[in-house]
Amino acid sequence: MLDIDTLLNKEQLFDGHYRLLRTLSTDGATADVWLALDVNTIDNLSSYEDSPDTIDESSGMTVAIKIYRPKNALDIEGEQRFRDEFKVAFNCHHANLLQPTSFNIYKGVPYLVLPYCEAGSSEQFIGKELSEEKIWKFILDVSSGLDRLHSNHPQIIHQDIKPANILIDDSGDFTITDFGISTKKTIGQENLFEDENSGTMAYMAPERFSSEPTPIPESDIWAFGATLCEILTGSVPFGENGGQSQLEGVPMVSLSHLPTSIRKLIRACLQKAPQKRPSASAIAKAARAKHFPIKKKHPFLIALLFILLLTAAGSFYYLMRPKPVDPVYQPTKEELFEKALIQLNHHDSKTAHNGLRIMDSLSRCEYIPAMYEVAYTYGWFTDSLSWHRKEVLQIEMDEFRLPKSIKDKTKAKDLFDGILELNDTTYAEINSKAAYRLAIYYGDRRITKNGVYDDHIQEVNNYLDISEQWATLSNDKELLHNIAITRNNIEKQQQNSQAEIETANIHQ
């Protein structure tokens, strides 16, 4: 059996020709990664043999060696399966996949040899400001690598996509590592190393928390969305419990400062239902176009065909036209909105539901006033009109007369976020109110159940800044006054929290 402690002795070669220099990673569940010098590639091998401690390490080729810990020693059947899996990974060629170059089983312990990426992993970019060009390159490189894995035969599911497993090669390209070996494939056999397949919880999709999870490509897409979110915001989307927290209704971190297409892509990847997530191939196409969702091709030809069909239909109608009749009047969005607003505020439940139905329809057409009224109906407002609507529509409220259902809160939050995404200067006043309500959402413990301000201070300040910009543009003095009061409350809250901490330290 291999004694790992002997590897620290520089005169001891691993498997006869690797001199282990230092550990690169010990975070894996089943293996450690070492930086090693392949002594067979040293320029003056005889000099090394005479004095191994004085050899210039740059005179030979350095590699990364992933050595599985002795507890994972294999029997004869296990050794054969390890060889079979190495063949699958070795034959999965792609510029954005870091392939193992060789493998062996030394003293019963398997190991892999991989190229050494001196530039490190994408962890170094977490929370740093990146150009949109760099972001799209990251998206293209990683999605292209995933597309190659998911289209392989047999299919390979990575199951542990995260910043640490996306390295930067000598060409500056992003490349996926740690795939293939340990049976990350849907081929119906048991795993060689069960712990290696468990993944990292913060990047695990909701379906992976079921009693009998099945490896599927969509889980890798969720993990990719979580990885992209962490790199661009500094935080994983749902906290350290990943998809488990998403199932419990924990809100996603704010993406409001990101470009619209990238924001939409992250949200699409993090959809709770796997079938609603885009494929790796679709993401790669969007990355090449630098737009998500991908724009339809040949709009000119489609428009031309439509015009030709319309002309032909017009000619046919002219020839076969019936006697002229008075046209049916079609109300405008503004007229429908005014009618729905009157009905929504009615005391009769049936009338109010009909008004809400019209508002919902206008909201889906991205008519901003209707989007706000629907959010106002479901949201965390404490005025009498919002309470009246909830009572008539039978929307359940808690003891604070705030919406009780997480579903209702999420619907209101998504509508407010949608208003801000549209960024329509025509509705500056509505935009300012939507951003202010989102600041209240993250700052009020009665709504989030997560404490006041301290837990979501970044989101609160971000939305207050956005609200202030729109309120200034619309000259909404009342809202500007409320924003100032809210900022003052935040400052007092932080001072009180700091005082409590200092008092606790004194008593300790």
- In this structure, how many other beta carbons lie within 10 angstroms of the beta carbon of residue 491? 11
Q: Nearest 5°: CA angle at 77, between 72 and 78? A: 25
CB-neighbour burial class of residue 186 (10 A; exposed 0-12, middle 13-18, buried 19+): middle
Q: Which of 115, 134, 157 is the last residue of a domain?
A: 115
* Mean pLDDT on 113-127: 94
**Alpha-helix residue ranges (DSSP H) falling in 4-75:** 45-50
Residue 18: give the domain boundaries.
4-115
**Cβ pair 440, 380 in contact under 8 A:** yes
- Nearby residues of 310 by Cβ (< 8 Å), 6 or more positions away: none
Q: Is residue 309 part of a domain?
A: no
Shared-domain flag, residues 111 and 126: no
**Cβ pair 214, 205 in contact under 8 A:** no
CA distance 286 to 277: 14
- Return the pLDDT at 12: 77
Token pair 């927290």 is found at: 245
Token pair 């619209």 is found at: 260
Q: Is residue 274 part of a domain?
A: yes
Q: Is residue 313 part of a domain?
A: no
H/E stretch holding 389 reads helix 384-393
Q: What is the largest CA-CA distance in the chain?
A: 107
Whether the predicted pLDDT of 379 surpasses 70: yes
**34: its two tokens:** 């070492």
Confidence band for 451, pLDDT divided at 50, 70 and 90? very low
According to DSSP, the β-strands at 102-106 and 174-176 are unpaired
CATH number at residue 12: 3.30.200.20
- In this structure, how many other beta carbons lie within 10 angstroms of the beta carbon of residue 464? 23
Confidence band for 294, pLDDT divided at 50, 70 and 90? confident
If one compares 364 and 178, the residue with the highest pLDDT of the two is: 364
Q: Is residue 398 part of a domain?
A: yes
Shared-domain flag, residues 79 and 130: no
**Cβ pair 418, 362 in contact under 8 A:** no
Q: Which of 56, 91, 115 is the last residue of a domain?
A: 115
Whether the predicted pLDDT of 505 surpasses 70: no
* 3-state SS class at 66: strand
Amino acid at 119: A
Shared-domain flag, residues 109 and 128: no
Q: Is residue 451 part of a domain?
A: yes
- Return the pLDDT at 221: 98
Whether the predicted pLDDT of 443 surpasses 70: yes
Amino acid at 219: S
Please list the helix, strand and coil fractions of the chain in percent, rounded to the nearest 5, in that order: 55, 10, 35
Q: Is residue 319 part of a domain?
A: no
According to DSSP, the β-strands at 31-38 and 18-25 are antiparallel
**253: its two tokens:** 């971190």
- Nearby residues of 74 by Cβ (< 8 Å), 6 or more positions away: 82, 105, 108, 109, 110, 192
* Mean pLDDT on 423-449: 88
CA distance 22 to 8: 8
CA distance 184 to 190: 10
H/E stretch holding 439 reads helix 428-443
Shared-domain flag, residues 400 and 501: yes
- Return the pLDDT at 299: 64
Shared-domain flag, residues 270 and 368: no
CA distance 176 to 344: 53
Token pair 């409220």 is found at: 397
CA distance 482 to 129: 31
Shared-domain flag, residues 342 and 448: yes
H/E stretch holding 316 reads helix 299-320
* 3-state SS class at 31: strand
Q: Is residue 64 part of a domain?
A: yes
pTM above 0.85, yes or no: no
Shared-domain flag, residues 195 and 341: no
CATH number at residue 268: 1.10.510.10
Q: Nearest 5°: CA angle at 166, between 244 and 139? A: 85
Confidence band for 65, pLDDT divided at 50, 70 and 90? very high
- Bridge partners (DSSP) of residue 66 are 33, 112
Rg for the chain, CA atoms, rounded: 30
Which has the minimum average pLDDT: 82-96, 248-262, 446-460? 446-460
Shared-domain flag, residues 351 and 483: yes
Shared-domain flag, residues 157 and 46: no
Shared-domain flag, residues 365 and 472: yes
- Nearby residues of 12 by Cβ (< 8 Å), 6 or more positions away: 6
The torsion angle over the Cα atoms of residues 247, 248, 251 and 253, rounded to 10 degrees, is -70
Which has the minimum average pLDDT: 70-74, 132-136, 273-277, 378-382? 70-74
When divided into structural domains, the chain yields a total of 3
Q: Which of 80, 115, 150 is the last residue of a domain?
A: 115
H/E stretch holding 429 reads helix 428-443
* Mean pLDDT on 206-214: 92
CA distance 227 to 123: 9
- Return the pLDDT at 296: 64
Whether the predicted pLDDT of 308 surpasses 90: no
CA distance 167 to 227: 13
CA distance 111 to 263: 40
Q: Is residue 164 part of a domain?
A: yes
Shared-domain flag, residues 223 and 275: yes
* Mean pLDDT on 321-350: 85
Sign of CA dihedral 289, 291, 296, 298: negative
Shared-domain flag, residues 28 and 96: yes
